[in-house]
Amino acid sequence: MKRTISAICGLFITCGVWADNPLVQTCYTTDPAPMVHGDRLYVYTGHDENRADFFWMQEWRVYSTDDMVNWTDHGSPLAIEDFEWGDDRAWAPQTMERNGKFYFYVPLHSKLTGAMAIGVAVGDTPTGPFKDVLGHPLADGNWAYIDPTVFIDDDGQAYLYWGNPEIYYVKLNDDMISYDGEVKKMEMTTDGFGVGRMVEMEPGKEYRTTYTEGPWIQKRDGKYYMIYAAGGIPEHIAYSTSDSPTGPWKYGGVIMAQNDATNSFTNHPGVVDYKGKSYFFYHTGNLPGGGGFARSIAVEPFEYNADGSFPTIEPTREGAPAIGTLDPYRRVEAETMAWSEGVASEPNDKTGVYVSDIHNGDYIKVANVNFMSGGPRSFGASVASALRGGVMEVRMDSVDGPLVAELEVPGTGGWENWRYIEVPAKMEVPGVHDIYFVMKGRKGPKLFNFDYWQFK
C-alpha cells in the first residue's frame, strides 16, 4: 500500500475541515462498529491484510475521535490468538458497554466445529485489554454464524443478533456473556426484508429476501431499526423497522446503493448518534491497492427524514464535518491524524501505538488545530531512530505551506529509544489551521519513528 497513496489520493487532498474518507490510511480497516463512551466516539473494525485474496483477517482494531476529523489509532486490543478455540477469520465485530464493562463480540472460525462461531471478550476500558472470559464460543455454529450486533432495550433486556443469509438471535442474560434457551431464527419474509434478486428465488418457496449479512440494530423514538448489507454480491445497505426487537419487520428501503464509488463487493453498516448528530459508517475499497479484500472504513453525516425513515446516503470523499478543534498545547499522540501518506503505525508495550515506517516525503495531516492567539513559542516531539534520523517539518495548511517549525531528528540508537526534542517556533500561527508534519531525509531508508508532539 505504501508509496502509492500520493499518486491516487493527491487529487483528494483538501484544506477543508472534513473527515477525509477513508478514515484510516495506515492500514486497511473493515466492518465499522461505532460506540460512544463519555466524550469520545470509538469505532471497532476488522483489518484486511495487504495483498489478501480472501478475508484472511487476523485481528480487530480500535480508533476514536472527539471531533470527527482527527482519529486516534488505539492499535489492536483483540486478535485470533486471544480465543483459544478460534483459528481464523477475525470478521465483523461490535462492542457494547454495560455497567462499566465493555463486551467485544466477534465472529471467528472455530476449531471446535470447523465453521464460524460467535465469541465475546470483556474489558474494563473501551480500548481493552479484552479477555475471552468464557474460554469457548458464545454461540457455535455453522457457516451462517458471523457479524454479531448487540442491543440493550429500554427495559434492560440485551439482544444479540448475527447471521448470513438469515438473522439469528438470543436474549442475553444480564452478564452479557450467556443466554438461556435456544438460538432463534428471525422470520425472514419479503415484507420484512425486501424481495431478493431473481437468481436467488427458489421455485415453489417464498422468495429469498434482500438481507445478506452485517446486521446493525438500534432503537429510535420507540421504533426498532435493523440495518444490514443486502442484495447478495455486490452488496448495498438497506434497512427494516419493527415495533419489537424480534420482529415482524417491515422493509424500509435502500440506504446506500451499491455503486462503483465504493470499489468493494461487500459493505457493512454502523449507525450512531454522537454530540447531537447522526453518522453512518460503512466501508469501501478506496485506499490505493484497495478493493474487495482490502477495504477501508468511511463515515457520512446524515439526518433522518421527518417520518423517521432513512435518507439515501452517498459515499463521499469528504465524509463528516469537524465538530471540534484540536488543542496543540497538550500532548498529542502522533497516531492522531486526519490524513496521512506513506506512514504506518506500530504498538509497543511501553509507549503504546506510535507512527512508524517514515520515509522521505511522507506526511501526516492533523486537522482543525486551534492555536488561539499569541503562539506558539516552541514545538517538541518524541522521536526515535536506529539509523540516521531525518527532519520533521511542521507546515501550516498544506504539505508546502508556511514552515512553522523544523525539528532535526538524530539517530537515537534504536527504533524505540525515544528522545523528546524541542525547537523554537519559526512563526506565529493565529487561530485554527490544519498542520502537516512533512518528513524529510535521505531517499530510500526508513528515517525515524514518531510517538507524540506538543506546541508550547
Residue nearest to ligand FUB (CB): 91
Identity of the residue, 165 or 214, whose beta carbon is nearer to ligand FUB in the bound complex: 214
Backbone angles phi, psi at 119, to 5 degrees: -120, 165
Identity of the residue, 297 or 439, whose beta carbon is nearer to ligand FUB in the bound complex: 297
Using an 8 Å Cβ cutoff, are 179 and 171 in contact?
yes
Q: Kindly state whether residue 82 participates in binding ligand FUB, applying the rule CB under 6 A.
A: no
Q: Kindly state whether residue 148 participates in binding ligand FUB, applying the rule CB under 6 A.
A: no
Task: Among 27, 33, 121, 146, indicate the residue that binds ligand FUB (CB under 6 A).
Answer: 146
Q: Side chain identity at 229, as an amino acid letter?
A: A
CB of 38 to ligand FUB, least distance (A): 28
Binding mask 311-350 for ligand FUB (x = CB under 6 A): ----------------------------------------
Task: Using DSSP bridges, classify how beta strands 30-37 and 40-46 pair: parallel, antiparallel or unpaired.
Answer: antiparallel
CB of 315 to ligand FUB, least distance (A): 15
CB of 92 to ligand FUB, least distance (A): 4
Identity of the residue, 147 or 362, whose beta carbon is nearer to ligand FUB in the bound complex: 147
Using an 8 Å Cβ cutoff, are 406 and 425 in contact?
no
Task: Using DSSP bridges, classify how beta strands 59-65 and 71-73 pair: parallel, antiparallel or unpaired.
Answer: antiparallel
CB of 58 to ligand FUB, least distance (A): 12
From CA 69, how far away is CA 90, in angstroms rounded? 27
From CA 394, how far away is CA 438, in angstroms rounded? 6
Identity of the residue, 66 or 147, whose beta carbon is nearer to ligand FUB in the bound complex: 147
Identity of the residue, 196 or 214, whose beta carbon is nearer to ligand FUB in the bound complex: 214
Q: Kindly state whether residue 163 participates in binding ligand FUB, applying the rule CB under 6 A.
A: no
Q: Kindly state whether residue 91 participates in binding ligand FUB, applying the rule CB under 6 A.
A: yes
CB of 160 to ligand FUB, least distance (A): 15
From CA 5, how far away is CA 18, in angstroms rounded? 19
Q: Kindly state whether residue 147 participates in binding ligand FUB, applying the rule CB under 6 A.
A: yes
Task: Among 55, 161, 282, 302, indicate the residue that binds ligand FUB (CB under 6 A).
Answer: 55
The CA dihedral of 174, 128, 279, 217, to the nearest 10 degrees, is: -30
How many of the chain's residues bind ligand FUB (CB under 6 A)? 13
- Other CB atoms within a 10 A radius of the CB of residue 271 amount to 21
205, three cell numbers: 418457496
Using an 8 Å Cβ cutoff, are 245 and 151 in contact?
yes
CB of 245 to ligand FUB, least distance (A): 21
428, three cell numbers: 506565529
Task: Among 214, 232, 285, 376, indicate the residue that binds ligand FUB (CB under 6 A).
Answer: 214
> Distances in Å between the alpha carbon of 320 and those of 299, 409, 416?
6, 35, 35
Q: Kindly state whether residue 302 participates in binding ligand FUB, applying the rule CB under 6 A.
A: no
Show contacts with ligand FUB in window 248-287 (CB under 6 A).
266, 268
DSSP state of 5: H
Show contacts with ligand FUB in window 12-51 (CB under 6 A).
30-31, 46
> Which stretches does DSSP call E strand in 178-308?
184-185, 211-220, 223-230, 236-242, 250-256, 270-274, 277-284, 296-302
From CA 297, how far away is CA 45, in angstroms rounded? 8
Backbone angles phi, psi at 136, to 5 degrees: -155, 165
CB of 51 to ligand FUB, least distance (A): 16
CB of 257 to ligand FUB, least distance (A): 17
Dihedral-angle region of residue 399 (phi above 0 means left; psi in -120 to 50 means alpha; beta otherwise):
alpha
Identity of the residue, 8 or 233, whose beta carbon is nearer to ligand FUB in the bound complex: 233
Using an 8 Å Cβ cutoff, are 419 and 413 in contact?
no
Identity of the residue, 70 or 94, whose beta carbon is nearer to ligand FUB in the bound complex: 94
Identity of the residue, 18 or 151, whose beta carbon is nearer to ligand FUB in the bound complex: 151
Identity of the residue, 145 or 274, whose beta carbon is nearer to ligand FUB in the bound complex: 145
Reduced to 3 states (helix: H, G, I; strand: E, B; else coil), residue 6 is helix
CB of 226 to ligand FUB, least distance (A): 14
Nearest to 207 by CA among 176, 267, 165, 256: 165
Backbone angles phi, psi at 28, to 5 degrees: -80, 135
Q: Kindly state whether residue 92 participates in binding ligand FUB, applying the rule CB under 6 A.
A: yes
Q: Which residues bind ligand FUB (CB under 6 A)?
A: 30-31, 46, 55, 91-92, 146-147, 213-214, 229, 266, 268
